[in-house]
Amino acid sequence: MPIKIDALTKVYSTAEIKVTALAPTTLSFADHSFTTIVGKSGCGKTTLLRLLAGLEEATNGTVSFSTKKPEIGFVFQEPRLMPWLTVAENIAFAIRKGGLSTEKLPQLLDILGLSAFARSYPSELSGGMAQRTALGRTLFQNPDIILMDEPFGALDYFTRKGLQETLLDLFRLERKTIIFVTHDVEEAILLGERVLIMQKGAIIGDIPVKLTYPRDPAASEVLTLRRQILEGLESKNVKVVDES
């Protein structure tokens, strides 16, 4: 389902200062597309995702979907697991809404490499395991749109590679609409059909990546794109963001 945002803006006002976390932005995300967003820390990536998910009230502008109420899944930057539930119960948390079954739970645990820890509590997990559990929770929910906020940030290289593949398989098989935030430029290129570059609350670049999956990080096209994006991220002449 296409997602359209129109002049979407978010300003956080505290007693002393106003922070424009998202300058007026107009964009759309096609159905079944995989978009990645890269940007430095504090540039407003999380804010954009939260606005899309309806977790934050926009200061201005609108978000609209083609269907009335699409199911949106959110993978937060931190695991946010329920400490009183086991790994398996956390993954199956969406079952409390009704309309889902635990049928695919074993398979999901297997994909995420968590089968041996199904009955462990979050306090007994490593950071990466907790993050995988959180990812599993959203996959279990089986939403139409998946918003992911640096979900692989805390993972080692190999787990990360494995989960990137899992995510791509899922994307190709089930044709989800995925918006994936990362600060890793290479990851953004390997995963996205389109890379958005964000700086100081504004989208300053929108780069299509027309390469077939799976992509080779050493391929010359990937390296060229990488240079292009890094230059964009470092460029000084970006839209001035009002911080009055």
Ligand X SMILES: Nc1ncnc2c1ncn2[C@@H]1O[C@H](COP(=O)(O)OP(=O)(O)OP(=O)(O)O)[C@@H](O)[C@H]1O
Which residues are at the interface with ligand X (CB under 6 A)?
A: 12, 19, 21, 39, 41-47, 77, 183
* Residues of this chain that bind another protein (CB under 8 A): 53-55, 71-74, 76, 78-85, 93-94, 96-97, 121-125, 130, 137, 141
Give min distance, CB of 171 to ligand X, in A.
Answer: 22
Given ligand X, another protein, Mg ion, none, residue 141, with its beta carbon under 5 to 8 Å by kind, binds: another protein
CB nearer to ligand X: give 8 or 87.
8
Given Mg ion, another protein, ligand X, none, residue 68, with its beta carbon under 5 to 8 Å by kind, binds: none
Q: Is 164 in the site for Mg ion (CB under 5 A)?
A: no
What are the strands, taking DSSP E only, across the chain? 3-13, 18-29, 34-39, 60-65, 72-75, 145-149, 177-182, 194-199, 202-208
CB nearer to ligand X: give 56 or 71.
56
**Separation CA 91–CA 109 (nearest Å):** 8
Give min distance, CB of 94 to another protein, in A.
Answer: 5
CB neighbours of 49 closer than 8 A, spacing ≥ 6? Answer: 74, 147, 149, 179, 181
**Separation CA 91–CA 73 (nearest Å):** 13
Q: Is 46 in the site for Mg ion (CB under 5 A)?
A: yes
Given another protein, Mg ion, ligand X, none, residue 55, with its beta carbon under 5 to 8 Å by kind, binds: another protein
Q: Report the sign of the C-alpha dihedral through residues 45, 51, 54, 57, in that order.
A: positive
CB nearer to Mg ion: give 39 or 94.
39
